[in-house]
Amino acid sequence: MDLNDTPEQAAYRETVRGWLEQHKAQAPEARSTRAGAEDAGYLAARRAWQGKLAEGGLAGVTWPHEFGGQGLGPIEQVIVNQELGRAGVPGILDVIGLGMLGPCLIAHGTDEQKGRYLGPMLHGDEVWCQMFSEPAAGSDLAAVQTRARAEDDGSFVLNGQKVWTTNAQFASFGLLLARTNPDVPKHKGMTMFIVPMDAPGITVRGLRQISGEAEFNEVFFDDVRVGPEMVVGGVDNGWGTALTVLMYERLTIGLGSEGMGYNPYRFARALSGDAAAVKDKAVRKAIGEIGTDLLALRFASYRTLSALSQGQIPGPESGLAKVTTVNAAIAAGDLIADVLGPDALGEDSEWSYMISFLPGLKSAGGTEQILRNTIGERVLGLPPEPRLDKGVPFSELAKLSRPGGSTSSGAIEKEEAAA
Amino acid sequence: MDLSLTDEQEFLREAARGTLSRFKVVEAAREALDDGLEQLPDLWPAAREAGWAGLLISDEHGGAGLGVFDAMLVAEETGRVLAPVPFIGLLPATAILDAAGYDGLEAIAAGEVRPVWIPTRPPGDLEPNWTVDGPGAARPDAPAIEGDGDTVRVTGRASFVPDAPGADLLVVVGVDGTVAVVEAGAEGVTVEQVVRYDVTRALAHVTLDGAPGTRLDVSPDAAADAATSALGARGSMAAVAADAATSALGARGSMAAVAADAWYVAQALIAAEAVGTVQTTLEMSVQYAKERFTFGRAIGSYQAVKHELTEVLRRLENARSLLFYAGWARDSAPAEFPLAASAARSAAGSALDFGTRSNINVHGGIGATWEHDAPLYFRRAQLTRRLVGGHGDATDRVAERLLAA
C-alpha cells in the first residue's frame, strides 16, 4: 500500500507545480459558488485562464496528442487537480466539455467534427453544454421526447425541451440527445446531435432553485434546423453515444469529488467554537458518524485511483460514494444549523447555501433510488425489476404512463387482487 | 498511488482462508451454545503453525515482522467464519512486548507462550479512570501498578477481557500509563471465564490482587525507530496540539505511547474482523435474495430488498476504505492512527449491526430460527458492539479528534 507518487508522477507534479508558480498571477480568483456564471467579466477571465492552462498542457490532460491533449492518464489528471487546488487557482471553466463531451467526440465524432470543434473547446473559446435530461426523462434517460424529424434534404428539425442544462446560457454548442424514430423500442430510436446554441428557435431560460440562484437552465427547441453533418455516432445510434458520455461523467465525478468542500474538518470547525456543543453527547455522536463517513470517502477515492492506475474503469459502485457524500453533508447541514440556530439559514451563510443545494444534489446524476437499483443489479448481481417498457415501441409507451393504461400492468394488479 | 495488495499480502490472506477452511466453526458454535464450549474446535495449533502468534513481532525476535495492516488481512478472514483465534487479546499484547524488547519474545512468536492484553483506555485519555468494560458508572479504574524498579505489584479488575481464558501472560496497562507483565498463574491472579451470547469469543473477568509482575519499558531500538517514523509523519495532519498523549503516540517512543497504540491496534483488528463478518452475511443475503421467490419473482428484484442490501454494501465498503486508512496511518502517519482506527471501528460497527440484522430480515422467519446460521453472526455483532469500549466509544473518539483539530 503506497499513497505516494511514483518517481514519474513526482516529476510530473513538479512540472505542473512549476508552471503554476510561474503563471498563477494571471489566474482569476477561485469562487466557491457557481454564482460567477452571471458575471460576464468573470466568465471572460475564466475562459482566458482555461486557454492559458491549455497552452501549458494543464487542460485536456487525458486527451490524445493529436487533439491538443497530453495523452496522459487519469492519475495525472488528479495530480493537476490537486496542484490547482494547492495553488488556490480555479481550473478549467468547461469541465463538462473537456471531461465528458470532448472524449465522446473523440470516440464517436467524424474527422471533420474533431477538426472543427475540439480545439476551440480545449482553449475555452467555445464552451459546451450537455442536453440530455428532460422534464420526463431523468433517471430514465432513454425516455427523451425531444423530436428530431428528418427532412428530405437530409437535415433534421428539432422540437422539444431539455432541463438541468449547466452553462447553456453562455455555451456555444450543445450535445443533444433526441428521438429520431419513435416506432422502435426506446433505446433504439435516438440520435446524438451537435447543436449551435445561437441557432434560430432555441430559447434558454435560467432555472432558479431552492437557494434562489439559477445554476441550471431550461432549453426550448422550436423548429430548430441542423444539418446531417451535426449527427454524432450515427442516426438512431444515440444511446450508445450517450453511454460513452455517461461513462466519462462517472469518471469526472469520481475524480473531482474531493473538490466539493464536504470536508469533515470544515464541518467540525463550524461546531468547535461552541463549548456546550463540543460537550453535548448527541452532537458528538452525530459529528463522529458524519466524520467517519467522510473520512471513508477519502480512502474510497484512493481505492478508485489505485484501480484506475491499474487500467480499470470505475464501475457503478462509485455511485455509493455519491450517496454517502450527499447524505453525510445533509446530516452535517442539519447538525450545524441545529447548533448555530436560525443564523445558519441567513442569506449570506455558507451553510444556508449548502442546505439549499443538497436536496437537488441528491437526484443529480441519477436519483439515489436509481443508483441503488443499478448497484444492486450490476455489483451485487440481484435480478432486475420486471419492466413494462422492454421491447415496446416508444410511440406506444405513452399508454403505459397513464394509471391503469396498460393491459399488462392491469393484469398484474388483477392477479394481486385475486391473491 | 497503489492500494493493491502485494503478492505477500495476497498469499497471507489466501493461506489464512485455507487454514480456516479446515474447521467448521459456525456449526460448532451452534452446538457449543447447547452443549458447552468444548464443542468448539481448538484453532490455536493451526494459528501457531501459520505463524500468526508472531505476526507483529519483529524478525530479530523470531516473529514475522509484519504490519498491523497485514494482521488485519488475517483478522478479516477469521471474521468471515467467526473463527475463535485470539487476535484481539494477542496482537496488541505482542505489539507492546515487542516494543519493550521483552525477554521471552521468541517463545511468544512461536506460540509456545500466549500473552493477552488487558484492555485499558489510552493513557492521557479524556477520562483516564474509565478504563475497562463494565456496567455503566461502576466501571472500575485501570489496575494500579505499584513499586519501584522492575518488580511490581498489580491490583485491579478488568471485565470481559477478550481471549484471557488460557492465556499464559497478562499484559497490564496501569492507570498511571506504565505497563507490567504478570504471569497468569501467579499468586493473586484470578481469571474467571465467562460466556456472553457469542460463544466464538472467549472472555474472562480478570482480578489482580497484589499480583507480582515485571515492569516493561521501551527498548532503545524501538524508541529510535519510533522517533524516525514520527519525523516522517510530521505535518501530515493538523496537529492535535497540547495533547501530550497524542504527540507521544505519534512516536510510540514511550511506554505510555505504546500502551495507547495497543488500544488502537485492537480497534483496527476488531474493525477488520467485522468487515469479514459483514462480507459473509452480505453473500448469504444476496444468495438467498436470488433464490427465494414471492409473488412470482425473486425477492432480490424488489427495490425494498435490493436497496437494503446495497445499504449493507455501502456501509461495508466505507468500512473497508477505512481499514486502508488505519493500516496506512499505523505505518506512515502514526499521529493519525487514533483517528483512523477509531473511524474504522465505528464504520465497521455500523456495517456489522446493520448487515447482521439485514441478513435475518432478508431470510424472513427462517433467519430467526435456531438452526439457521444468521443468528450466529447476529450474536457476534451484539457482543462485538459492546466490547473493548464499544462502537459508541470509537465514534466519540472520531468526534474528539475532529473537534480538537
**Residue showing cell 459492546:** B386
A 10 A CB-CB count for A363 gives: 16
For the purposes of burial, counting CB atoms within 10 Å of the CB of A304, is it exposed (0-12), middle (13-18) or buried (19 or more)? buried
For the purposes of burial, counting CB atoms within 10 Å of the CB of A95, is it exposed (0-12), middle (13-18) or buried (19 or more)? middle
**pLDDT value of position A75:** 87
Tell whether A182 and A235 lie within a shared domain: yes
**A405 lies in some domain:** no
pLDDT beyond 70 at A407: no
CA dihedral B258, B263, B267, B269 (to 10 degrees): 50
Tell whether A172 and A223 lie within a shared domain: yes
**A203 reaches B (C-beta below 8 A):** no
Using CA atoms, how far residue A149 sits from A29, A129, A130, A236, in Å, is 45, 22, 20, 12
**A315 lies in some domain:** yes
- Residue with the larger pLDDT of the pair A320 and A401: A320
Altogether, the residues listed in chain B come to a count of 405
**pLDDT value of position A352:** 94
Distance from CA of B111 to the nearest CA of A (A): 28
**pLDDT value of position A3:** 84
Distance from CA of B316 to the nearest CA of A (A): 11
Point out the residue among A295, A303, A373 whose CB comes nearest to the CB of B303.
A373
Contact A289 B297 (CB under 8 A): no
**pLDDT value of position A419:** 37
- B295: helix, coil or strand? coil
Rg of the Cα atoms in chain A: 23
**B346 reaches A (C-beta below 8 A):** yes
Tell whether A194 and A277 lie within a shared domain: no
Contact A288 B313 (CB under 8 A): no
Contact A296 B397 (CB under 8 A): no
**A317 lies in some domain:** yes
Tell whether A229 and A324 lie within a shared domain: no
Contact B301 A385 (CB under 8 A): yes
Structure confidence at residue A302 as a pLDDT band (50, 70, 90) = confident
Considering the candidates A21, A229, A249, A289, report the single residue annotated as catalytic. A249
Contact B4 A306 (CB under 8 A): yes
Dist CA A6 CA B1 (whole Å): 8
Structure confidence at residue A17 as a pLDDT band (50, 70, 90) = very high
Q: Which three cell numbers stand for residue B35?
A: 452443549
Cβ pair B96, B171 in contact under 8 A: yes
Altogether, the residues listed in chain A come to a count of 419
- Nearest residue of A to residue B126 by CA position? A279
Cβ pair A161, A146 in contact under 8 A: yes
**A370 reaches B (C-beta below 8 A):** no
**pLDDT value of position B72:** 98
Mutation for B interface: A380, A390, A408, A415, most B CBs within 10 A = A380
Apex A225 CA angle, A219 and A230, nearest 5: 90
| Dihedral sign (CA A320, A324, A325, A327) | positive
Chain A residues lying within 8 Å of B313, measured CB to CB:
317, 320, 375, 379-380
Mutation for A interface: B283, B325, B403, most A CBs within 10 A = B403
Mutation for A interface: B307, B321, B342, most A CBs within 10 A = B321
Cβ pair A60, A95 in contact under 8 A: no
Catalytic site residue A134? Answer: no
**pLDDT value of position B240:** 30
Point out the residue among A292, A382, A384 whose CB comes nearest to the CB of B343.
A292
Question: What's the maximum distance between 2 C-alpha atoms anywhere in chain B?
Answer: 76
pLDDT beyond 80 at A38: no
Question: What's the maximum distance between 2 C-alpha atoms anywhere in chain A?
Answer: 76
**A176 lies in some domain:** yes
Full-model pTM: 0.91
**A290 lies in some domain:** yes
Point out the residue among B4, B295, B403 whose CB comes nearest to the CB of A287.
B403
Mean pLDDT for chain A overall:
90
Cβ pair B214, B180 in contact under 8 A: yes
Q: Which CATH number does the domain housing residue A154 bear? A: 2.40.110.10
**A331 reaches B (C-beta below 8 A):** no
**pLDDT value of position B246:** 41
Q: Which domains does chain B have, with CATH numbers?
A: 247-404 (1.20.140.10)
Cβ pair B39, B32 in contact under 8 A: yes
- Nearest residue of B to residue A321 by CA position? B314
**pLDDT value of position B269:** 98
Tell whether A351 and A287 lie within a shared domain: yes
**B151 reaches A (C-beta below 8 A):** no
Point out the residue among A302, A383, A384 whose CB comes nearest to the CB of B3.
A302
Contact B295 A416 (CB under 8 A): yes
Contact B317 A320 (CB under 8 A): yes
**A75 reaches B (C-beta below 8 A):** yes
Chain A residues lying within 8 Å of B300, measured CB to CB:
376, 380, 382-383
Chain A residues lying within 8 Å of B4, measured CB to CB:
306, 310
Mutation for B interface: A278, A281, A292, most B CBs within 10 A = A292
Contact A1 B2 (CB under 8 A): yes
**pLDDT value of position B234:** 31
Chain-centroid distance of CA A36 in Å reads 18
Distance from CA of B29 to the nearest CA of A (A): 28
Contact B405 A268 (CB under 8 A): yes
Contact A296 B392 (CB under 8 A): no
- Tell me the mean pLDDT in the region A41-46: 93
Dist CA B117 CA B143 (whole Å): 13
Dist CA B246 CA B259 (whole Å): 12
For the stretch A321-360, pLDDT in tens is 889 999 999 999 999 999 999 999 998 899 999 999 999 9
Point out the residue among B302, B309, B402 whose CB comes nearest to the CB of A264.
B402
**pLDDT value of position A413:** 38
**B71 reaches A (C-beta below 8 A):** no
Contact A372 B303 (CB under 8 A): yes
Chain-centroid distance of CA A176 in Å reads 15
**A295 reaches B (C-beta below 8 A):** yes
Chain A residues lying within 8 Å of B306, measured CB to CB:
372-373, 376-377, 380, 382
Residue B210: CA count within 13 A, CB half-sphere: 0
Total number of domains constituting chain A = 3
Identify how many contiguous H helices and E strands chain A contains and give both numbers: 15, 8
**A222 lies in some domain:** yes
Tell whether A50 and A79 lie within a shared domain: yes
Tell whether A286 and A350 lie within a shared domain: yes
Query: A163 forms bridges with which residues in the sheet?
Result: A218
Contact B310 A278 (CB under 8 A): no
**B194 reaches A (C-beta below 8 A):** no
Point out the residue among B310, B317, B318 whose CB comes nearest to the CB of A372.
B310
- Tell me the mean pLDDT in the region A122-139: 96
Q: Which CATH number does the domain housing residue A46 bear? A: 1.10.540
27-46 in A: which are within 8 Å (CB) of B?
none
Q: Which amino acid is at B26?
A: V
Residue A97: CA count within 13 A, CB half-sphere: 28
Tell whether A292 and A371 lie within a shared domain: yes
Contact B318 A369 (CB under 8 A): no
Chain A, chain B: beta-carbon pairs less than 8 Å apart: 169
**A220 lies in some domain:** yes
**pLDDT value of position A305:** 83
A 10 A CB-CB count for B133 gives: 19
- Domain closes at, from A43, A73, A93: A93
Contact A287 B399 (CB under 8 A): yes
Contact A284 B399 (CB under 8 A): yes
Chain A residues lying within 8 Å of B289, measured CB to CB:
382
**A141 lies in some domain:** yes
ipTM (interface pTM)? 0.92
**A388 reaches B (C-beta below 8 A):** no
Distance from CA of B98 to the nearest CA of A (A): 23
Tell whether A228 and A266 lie within a shared domain: no
pLDDT beyond 70 at A228: yes
Q: What is the residue-wise DSSP string for A216-266?
A: EEEEEEEEEEE-GGGEES-TT-HHHHHHHHHHHHHHHHHHHGGGG---HHH
Point out the residue among B2, B295, B403 whose CB comes nearest to the CB of A272.
B403
Tell whether A78 and A137 lie within a shared domain: no
Spell out, as residue ranges, where chain B has pLDDT lower than 70: 124, 126-139, 222-252
- B279: helix, coil or strand? helix
**B292 reaches A (C-beta below 8 A):** no
**DSSP H or E segment with residue A172:** none
Q: Which CATH number does the domain housing residue A328 bear? A: 1.20.140.10
**Residue showing cell 500500500:** A1
Tell whether A83 and A185 lie within a shared domain: no
Tell whether A231 and A266 lie within a shared domain: no
Expressed as residue numbers, the domain containing A35 is 7-93
Contact B395 A75 (CB under 8 A): no
Dist CA A36 CA A43 (whole Å): 7
- Domain closes at, from A73, A93, A113: A93
Mutation for A interface: B306, B308, B330, B331, most A CBs within 10 A = B306
